[in-house]
Amino acid sequence: MAKRTGVSIIKGIWIRLLSILVQFTFPAQFTVFLHRLRGVKIGKGTKINRTVQIDDSVPHLVEIGEKVWVTAGVLILCHQRDLSTHKKGKAVMDNDLVYNKVIIKDGAHIGIGAIIMPGVTIGEGAVIGAGAVVTKDIPPYSVAVGSPAKVIKTIE
């Protein structure tokens, strides 16, 4: 784990304060503005509901394209515990964190309450159903639903 410095601690506090402020924003353009201040890369015309939670540890690893709609209650994560060396008698928290980008391409739609896991790319024009848990890449112009999310339709 990297050693924390005064600058990294202040940056972490700043990111978390902005994520708290996001919960009280209106309209969506202001919400997007605050997420950009946190380091999230967001394209033009994108709308993000104020109840969306974007990774507090490494928000700069999230890239959201143009004209994307991220609806209420969505959770976007860029870090998780590395369980490849987990064993009996070891606490899960003793495992290192691994970090991966999340990329949501232009024109995608993320349904209410979806969870986007680290390392996932959601293709252009893809639709993620409400409550889906996206653990793998979703191809462009497809509809994915369920937990874990599976493609159920390709849009022609």
Tens digits of per-residue pLDDT, 45-56?
999 999 999 999
In the CATH hierarchy, which top-level class contains the domain 6-154?
A: mainly beta
Rg (CA), the chain: 16
Q: Which amino acid, residue 75? A: L
Confidence (pLDDT) at 20:
87
pLDDT, averaged in runs of 10, over the chain (156 residues): 78 87 83 94 96 94 98 97 92 94 98 98 98 98 98 96
Catalytic (active site) residue 86:
no
**Tell me, what's the pLDDT at 29?**
83
Residues 51-70 pLDDT 10s? 999 999 999 999 999 999 99
Q: Is the pTM of this model over 0.85?
A: yes
Q: 60, 79, 86, 109: which is the annotated catalytic residue? A: 60
